[in-house]
Amino acid sequence: MTGAQLFGLLVPAAIFIVIALAAVLLVLLQYRLTDQTSPDAKVAVAVATIGIGALLSIALFTRSLNETASGGGRVVFYDDYAGGFAASRWISLLLLGAALVEIIRGWLRARLTPAADSAWPLLASMLLFYVGTLTIQGLLSEHTGFSFKELYVPIILTAVYYQPVRNLRLILGAAKLAILALTVGSLLGIALRPDFVMHRPGAGVIPGVDWRLFGLTSHANTLGPVALLGFLLELYSPFRRRSMRAFNFSAALAVFVLAQSRTAWVAALIIGAAVAVPMAIMPSGPGTAHARSFRRSVWTLIGCIALLIVVTCATVALGGTEYLQRKTDLGTLNGRFQIWDITLQAWRENVLFGYGPEVWGAERRLRFNMFHVGQAHNQFVQTLGEAGLVGLAFVGLYLTVLLHAACKCFAGSRGLILALLLLLLARCVTEAPLRSEGLLSWSTFLHVLLLTVACHYLRQPAGVVSCRATQRSVVARGARVRVPKTSLFSINANRAPT
Q: Are 299 and 346 in a shared domain?
A: no
Has residue 331 got a pLDDT over 50?
no
Predicted confidence at residue 117, as pLDDT, reads: 87
Q: Are 198 and 271 in a shared domain?
A: yes
Predicted confidence at residue 48, as pLDDT, reads: 95
72 within some domain: yes
Predicted confidence at residue 16, as pLDDT, reads: 63
Has residue 309 got a pLDDT over 60?
no
322 lies in which domain range? 285-326
469 within some domain: yes
Q: Are 406 and 296 in a shared domain?
A: no
Q: Model confidence over 415-447: pLDDT tens digits? A: 899 999 999 999 998 889 998 678 999 999 999
Mean per-residue pLDDT of the chain: 80
Predicted confidence at residue 355, as pLDDT, reads: 93
Q: Are 78 and 213 in a shared domain?
A: yes
Return the higher-pLDDT residue of 47 and 303: 47
Predicted confidence at residue 168, as pLDDT, reads: 93
23 within some domain: no
* Spatial distance between the Cα atoms of 496 and 492, rounded to a whole number of angstroms: 9
Provide the pLDDT confidence category of residue 332 given band limits of 50, 70 and 90: very low
Has residue 157 got a pLDDT over 70?
yes
Q: Are 374 and 471 in a shared domain?
A: yes
486 within some domain: no
Q: What 3 state SS string does 67-126 have? A: CCCCCCCCCEECCCCHHHHHHHHHHHHHHHHHHHHHHHHHHHHHHCCCCCCCCHHHHHHH
300 within some domain: yes
Has residue 472 got a pLDDT over 50?
no
Q: Are 183 and 251 in a shared domain?
A: yes
Predicted confidence at residue 313, as pLDDT, reads: 56
Predicted confidence at residue 477, as pLDDT, reads: 41
Q: How large is the average pLDDT for residues 458-471?
A: 58
Q: Model confidence over 357-374: pLDDT tens digits? A: 999 888 888 888 887 788
Q: Are 148 and 230 in a shared domain?
A: yes
Q: Model confidence over 198-229: pLDDT tens digits? A: 998 877 788 888 899 999 998 999 999 999 99
Q: Are 433 and 340 in a shared domain?
A: yes
218 within some domain: yes
Query: What percent of the chain is predicted at pLDDT more than 70?
Result: 71
Predicted confidence at residue 173, as pLDDT, reads: 95
- Give the angle 333-143-338 at the CA atoms, nearest 5°: 15
Has residue 485 got a pLDDT over 60?
no
Provide the pLDDT confidence category of residue 233 given band limits of 50, 70 and 90: very high
317 within some domain: yes
Q: Are 314 and 365 in a shared domain?
A: no
Longest dimension (CA), the chain: 95
Q: Are 340 and 415 in a shared domain?
A: yes
15 within some domain: no
Count: domains in the chain: 2
Question: How remote is the C-alpha of 338 from its chain's centroid?
Answer: 26
Has residue 306 got a pLDDT over 90?
no
Q: Model confidence over 102-125: pLDDT tens digits? A: 999 999 888 888 778 899 999 999
Has residue 321 got a pLDDT over 50?
no
Q: How large is the average pLDDT for residues 147-163?
A: 93
Predicted confidence at residue 350, as pLDDT, reads: 92
Predicted confidence at residue 290, as pLDDT, reads: 52
Q: Are 85 and 156 in a shared domain?
A: yes
- The residue among 270, 302, 326 that closes a domain is 326
Q: Are 301 and 439 in a shared domain?
A: no
Q: Model confidence over 73-104: pLDDT tens digits? A: 555 554 455 555 666 788 888 899 899 999 99
Return the higher-pLDDT residue of 2 and 374: 374
